[in-house]
């Protein structure tokens, strides 16, 4: 594979007016964010011979998975393959070699689906370093983009936020040709990156917005796409029926974030929980009320705990149980994250800090507050942060769980209706350009804060089962901008996004985007016009899954 982009690194030194040096680098593919999708995109493109540069804003690799989301959300393991299977294999290999194949660590890792955060980051780094064509640049934040419009290159106009149903016309299409990133370790030092294809793997769709892609944030109305669970809604835990008060109206709401931190009882690997400086006892008034009423008698009624290897437990927010309404509040902090998708670095840091104060504050409250019965305090006080995790961040997670950011307007929009069975087969529809499968439930955490008038739920929550269905290539192809794929902040309604927002699916979409970029490079075309059949064939060669259908029928001979 030989093009003008291959194996070229051009360093053009230009003295800027502010005195800093501006460097320019050229690659075949530039990937933004070294989260699981970004790792998969980079590795997939590099395996095809493309020269890849990965830009990561933090000093960590693996996104929220290396940041604590180590209880993999997957039901039907056959629905995901490819590089996710390589990741699992490497996880299992790590624990087998370190502790023995019959060890407790191997048993708890469940075939590579459960793991410690630092092990996840180690494996993701190994996957990147195994490919000689990948250059990883950490602490680089994308700050601008350049496009070609009508044959003239210039600064991109920011993408417009377009909520509601799709407009008839999204406007003219431009070609993304370069981005500029700031080196955060050398403030003010900018580097331009030029490539044939850019892949935006950020959870928020930051590059897509900079490049001019139209996007949406928040909940569509029920009428926008005819989705039964769209808009303002009240649903009980694992129930499908909207309750009175469910208007279906659109709003700016996105589902709550939380941290997926780890706790341990191992005193040899133990860092105490601290009272946050910004601790606000009023944040937990409903939990305290349920404790006073005797509805909460145990620590693990407030938060969920999942066992991981080496005596660690991953923590997650819990939902109110439909028979007791416990817990009214947990780690999810709804509403206060609504501005995150479109926020800049300063505002995101403020939200990050607020969420951590809330999350650590809840654990501290259960360990120390005199209104909490001694039995609960004693139980809660057995837990602390593992001192061998997040060692450069006070043993606290360096990533917040961004469950939902921007969602681009793409050439296809996934909605709740994609899961509906078609009459002829009783299964969801297939797509000629299917490149991945989503199988997890439509799963939205709360969008609004707990309301005492609805004591058995949190507003905006739903959890809707469905058969696995295909995701078409078109959901990654943005309106208005060529030379760009968006596998994470992809094209979906609020409800539709809640099934595909799982990291194994993001890895599958990332892998498909990396292969598509390399096929486009080979065929000298843009990724919008890529031969999707060639992408599908390569995915299958690499063990990917592009179709997975459940059936109760057993073929003859089995």
173 and 45, same domain (yes or no): yes
3 state SS of 363: helix
Name the percent of the chain lying above pLDDT 90. 91
Q: Which domain holds residue 145?
A: 14-217+471-541
Give residue 16's pLDDT: 41
Residue 280 neighbours by CB under 8 Å, 6+ apart: 357, 358, 361
Within-domain flag for 447: no
**Are 397 and 64 contacting, i.e. CB atoms less than 8 angstroms apart?**
no
Within-domain flag for 461: no
Domain CATH for 150: 3.50.50.60
Residue 10 has pLDDT above 90, yes or no: no
Residue 11 has pLDDT above 50, yes or no: no
Residue 160 has pLDDT above 60, yes or no: yes
Residue (of 526, 524, 437, 521) closest to 475 by Cα position: 437
Residue 551 has pLDDT above 60, yes or no: no
Q: Name beta bridge partners: 407.
A: 216
303 and 205, same domain (yes or no): no
Within-domain flag for 199: yes
183 and 83, same domain (yes or no): yes
Banded model confidence at residue 20, pLDDT cuts 50, 70, 90 = low
Average pLDDT over residues 404-428: 94
Residue 1 has pLDDT above 50, yes or no: no
Within-domain flag for 28: yes
172 and 63, same domain (yes or no): yes
279 and 159, same domain (yes or no): no
Query: For 66-115, how does the pLDDT look when each residue is reduced to its tens digit (9 = 90+)?
Result: 999 999 999 999 999 999 999 999 999 999 999 999 999 999 999 999 99
Name the percent of the chain lying above pLDDT 70. 94
49 and 193, same domain (yes or no): yes
Give residue 425's pLDDT: 84
61 and 182, same domain (yes or no): yes
Query: For 486-538, how does the pLDDT look when each residue is reduced to its tens digit (9 = 90+)?
Result: 999 999 999 999 999 999 999 999 999 999 999 999 999 999 999 999 999 99
270 and 213, same domain (yes or no): no
Average pLDDT over residues 299-316: 98
371 and 484, same domain (yes or no): no
Average pLDDT over residues 393-419: 98
Residue 19 has pLDDT above 90, yes or no: no
Give residue 555's pLDDT: 42
Give residue 187's pLDDT: 86
Please state the separation of Cα 239 from the chain's center in Å.
Answer: 25
What's the mean per-residue pLDDT of the chain?
94
Query: Looking at 359, 380, 401, which one is the last position of a domain?
Result: 380
Banded model confidence at residue 199, pLDDT cuts 50, 70, 90 = very high
189 and 287, same domain (yes or no): no
Exposure of 319 in the CB half-sphere (CA atoms within 13 A): 23
Give residue 22's pLDDT: 67
336 and 484, same domain (yes or no): no
Whether residue 327 has a cis bond before it, omega within 30° of 0: yes
Within-domain flag for 232: no
Average pLDDT over residues 303-318: 98
Residue 310 has pLDDT above 80, yes or no: yes
Within-domain flag for 514: yes
Within-domain flag for 534: yes
Residue 508 neighbours by CB under 8 Å, 6+ apart: 40, 80, 81, 82, 84, 435, 436, 437, 544, 545
Angle between helices 36-47 and 82-99 (to 10 degrees): 110
Average pLDDT over residues 175-199: 96
Query: Looking at 380, 399, 414, which one is the last position of a domain?
Result: 380
Residue 473 has pLDDT above 90, yes or no: yes
Banded model confidence at residue 286, pLDDT cuts 50, 70, 90 = very high
DSSP-derived pairing of the beta strands 484-485 and 52-56: unpaired
How many domains are there within the chain? 2
The residue ranges of DSSP E strands in 2-127, in sequence order, are 14-15, 21-32, 52-56
Residue 12 has pLDDT above 50, yes or no: no
478 and 374, same domain (yes or no): no
Residue (of 498, 426, 341, 490) closest to 37 by Cα position: 490
Query: For 422-448, how does the pLDDT look when each residue is reduced to its tens digit (9 = 90+)?
Result: 888 889 999 999 999 999 999 999 999
Within-domain flag for 151: yes
CA distance 418 to 558: 31
Banded model confidence at residue 138, pLDDT cuts 50, 70, 90 = very high
Query: Looking at 350, 380, 410, which one is the last position of a domain?
Result: 380
Cα distance from N-terminal residue to C-terminal residue, the chain: 44
Largest CA distance in the chain: 75
């Amino acid at each position: 594979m030989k093009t003008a982009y291959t194996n070229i690194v051009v360093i053009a030194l230009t003295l800027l007016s502010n005195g800093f040096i501006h460097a320019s680098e050229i690659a075949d593919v530039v990937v933004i964010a070294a989260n699981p999708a970004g790792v998969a995109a980079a590795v997939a493109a590099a395996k095809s011979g493309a020269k890849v540069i990965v830009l990561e804003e933090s000093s960590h690799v693996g996104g929220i998975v290396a940041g604590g989301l180590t209880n993999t959300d997957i039901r039907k393991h056959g629905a995901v393959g490819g590089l996710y299977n390589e990741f699992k294999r490497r996880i299992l290999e790590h624990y087998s070699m370190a502790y023995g194949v019959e060890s407790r660590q191997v048993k708890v890792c469940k075939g590579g689906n459960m793991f410690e955060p630092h092990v996840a980051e180690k494996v993701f780094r190994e996957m990147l370093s195994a490919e000689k064509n990948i250059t990883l640049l950490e602490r680089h934040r994308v700050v601008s983009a350049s496009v070609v419009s009508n044959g003239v290159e210039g600064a991109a106009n920011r993408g417009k936020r377009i909520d509601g149903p799709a407009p008839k016309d999204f406007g003219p299409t431009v070609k993304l040709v370069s981005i500029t990133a700031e080196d955060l370790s050398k403030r003010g030092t900018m580097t331009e990156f030029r490539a044939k294809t850019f892949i935006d793997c950020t959870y928020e769709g930051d590059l897509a917005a900079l490049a001019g892609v139209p996007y949406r944030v928040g909940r569509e109305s029920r009428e926008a796409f005819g989705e039964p669970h769209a808009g303002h809604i009240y649903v009980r835990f694992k129930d499908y029926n909207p309750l009175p008060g469910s208007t279906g109206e659109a709003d700016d709401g996105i589902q709550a974030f939380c941290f997926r931190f780890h706790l341990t009882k191992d005193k040899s690997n133990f860092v105490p929980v601290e009272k946050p400086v910004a601790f606000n006892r009023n944040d937990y008034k409903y939990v305290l009320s349920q404790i006073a009423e005797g509805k909460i008698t145990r620590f693990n009624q407030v938060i969920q705990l999942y066992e991981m290897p080496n005596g660690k437990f991953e923590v997650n927010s819990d939902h109110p149980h439909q028979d007791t309404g416990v817990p009214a509040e947990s780690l999810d902090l709804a509403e206060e994250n609504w501005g995150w998708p479109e926020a800049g670095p300063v505002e995101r840091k403020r939200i990050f800090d607020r969420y951590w104060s809330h999350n650590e504050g809840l654990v501290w409250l259960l360990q120390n507050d005199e209104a909490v019965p001694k039995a609960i305090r004693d139980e809660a006080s057995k837990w602390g942060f593992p001192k061998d995790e997040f060692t450069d961040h006070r043993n606290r997670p360096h990533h917040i769980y961004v469950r939902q950011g921007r969602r681009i307007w793409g050439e296809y929009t996934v909605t709740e209706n994609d899961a509906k069975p078609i009459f002829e087969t009783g299964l969801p529809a297939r797509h000629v350009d299917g490149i991945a499968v989503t199988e997890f439930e439509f799963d939205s955490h709360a969008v609004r804060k707990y309301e005492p008038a609805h004591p058995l739920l949190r507003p905006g929550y739903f959890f809707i089962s469905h058969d696995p269905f295909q995701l078409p290539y078109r959901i990654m192809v943005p309106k208005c901008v060529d030379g760009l794929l968006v596998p994470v902040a992809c094209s979906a309604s609020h409800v539709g996004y809640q099934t595909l927002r799982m990291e194994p699916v993001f890895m599958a979409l990332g892998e498909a985007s990396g292969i598509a970029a390399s096929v486009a490079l080979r065929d000298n075309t843009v990724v919008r016009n890529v031969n999707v059949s060639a992408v599908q064939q390569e995915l299958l060669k690499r063990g990917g899954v592009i179709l997975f259908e459940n059936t109760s029928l057993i073929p003859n001979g089995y």
